């Protein structure tokens, strides 16, 4: 799936009408340099020498903190360990590291509702596939794009390409700032821009990858839903949740991630693929008008 997603993002970078050949070459270089960390680390951390005893929880805590501080201090003056993991394998999360140019998917997230090897491709690509695409496109979002293929802070974009990118990302920011969450409280499109951009790009790339998978192994309807519809339903199911108003208000004001409802309805309303899958028409609630539609990757 990761290989399919990387190939799909490569296809899309190749076909971007707004990106120059110079920036395109650097973008593809960065894409092909992604380090993939999936499941668990190749080398396990050795905790030998950490004194742990059943009688003292606080003492155990300080012993672990001292050991970790010593381990970090031991990195000084040594080459960067590009294979180091910054999440434990059971963690249900994923992330992109700009300084290592790595995409990271611990074992904890490789389970329902994101992934199950018994599910058909459409459901898996709509679940973990969109997560993979999300983390990959973080490498090219408003923050990630400032780092090169080796993780160095470098401006590798031409001025014109950077301006065209900003124009498109501004459209994403404006879209999410227009959403009212509670009373008169709006989403902060600037605060959430990186995550919203990654959601939008991740879904588009995952869908492109699904088309590659279906070309190899065609599939038909299941329970009355086409593969394309199952893809989007799977993505929406990942974000099914309930939040109390107070918690929602706190998230909107402090968190770079949009609330779950808008992580689904926001990006999907921009995608012609979603509209075609469900037969939506211009003017429908889930179809943004052409002049407002956001599309980057």
- Any idea what DSSP says for residue 185? E
User: Residue for token digits 């609630």?
Assistant: 285
187 Cβ neighbours under 8 A, 6+ residues apart: 176, 177, 179, 181, 252, 258, 259, 262
Predicted TM-score of the model (pTM): 0.91
223 is catalytic: no
4 is catalytic: no
What's the whole-number mean pLDDT along residues 132-151? 93
* Residue 19: other Cβ atoms inside 10 A: 21
Domains of the chain and any CATH numbers: 2-40+83-278 (3.40.390.10), 44-81 (no CATH)
**In this predicted structure, what is the pLDDT of residue 24?**
95
Q: Which three-class secondary structure state does DSSP give residue 104?
A: strand
CA dihedral 109→258→264→209, nearest 10 degrees, is -50
Please state, rounded to an integer, the average pLDDT across all residues of the chain: 94
121, 141, 199, 228: the catalytic one is: 199
4, 6, 121, 135: the catalytic one is: 135
**What b/e string do you get for 176-185 counting C-beta neighbours within 10 Å, with b at 16 or more?**
beebebeeee
**In this predicted structure, what is the pLDDT of residue 85?**
93
Are 78 and 128 contacting, i.e. CB atoms less than 8 angstroms apart?
Answer: no
Give 175-206 pLDDT, tens digit per residue.
Answer: 999 999 998 999 999 999 999 999 999 999 99
> Is 47 a residue whose pLDDT tops 90?
no
Give 54-104 pLDDT, tens digit per residue.
Answer: 988 999 999 999 999 999 999 999 999 999 999 999 999 999 999 999 999
**In this predicted structure, what is the pLDDT of residue 141?**
84
> Is 49 a residue whose pLDDT tops 90?
no
């Amino acid at each position: 799936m990761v290989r399919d997603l990387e190939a799909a993002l490569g296809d899309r970078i190749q076909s971007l009408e707004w990106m120059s050949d110079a920036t395109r070459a650097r973008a593809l270089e960065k894409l092909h340099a992604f380090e993939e960390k999936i499941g668990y680390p190749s080398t396990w951390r050795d905790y030998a020498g950490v004194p742990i005893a059943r009688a003292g929880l606080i003492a155990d805590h300080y012993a672990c903190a001292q050991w970790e501080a010593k381990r970090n201090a031991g990195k000084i003056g040594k080459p960067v360990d590009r294979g180091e993991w910054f999440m434990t394998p059971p963690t249900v999360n994923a992330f992109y590291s700009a300084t290592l140019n790595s995409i990271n998917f611990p074992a904890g997230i490789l389970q329902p509702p994101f992934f199950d090897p018994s599910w058909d491709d459409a459901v898996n690509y709509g679940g973990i596939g969109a997560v993979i695409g999300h983390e990959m496109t973080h490498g090219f979002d408003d923050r990630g794009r400032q780092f090169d293929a080796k993780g160095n802070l470098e401006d590798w974009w031409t001025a014109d390409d950077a301006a065209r990118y900003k124009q498109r990302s501004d459209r994403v920011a404006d879209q999410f700032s227009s959403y009212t969450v509670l009373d008169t409280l709006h989403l902060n499109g600037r605060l959430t821009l990186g995550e919203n951009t990654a959601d939008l790009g991740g879904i588009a790339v995952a869908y492109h990858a699904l088309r590659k998978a279906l070309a190899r192994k065609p599939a038909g309807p299941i329970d009355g839903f086409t593969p394309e519809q199952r893809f989007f339903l799977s993505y929406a199911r990942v974000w099914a949740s309930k939040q109390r108003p107070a918690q929602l208000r706190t998230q909107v004001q402090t968190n770079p991630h949009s609330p779950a409802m808008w992580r689904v309805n926001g990006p999907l309303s921009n995608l012609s693929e979603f509209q075609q899958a469900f037969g939506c028409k211009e003017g429908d609630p889930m179809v943004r008008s052409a002049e407002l539609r956001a599309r980057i990757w």
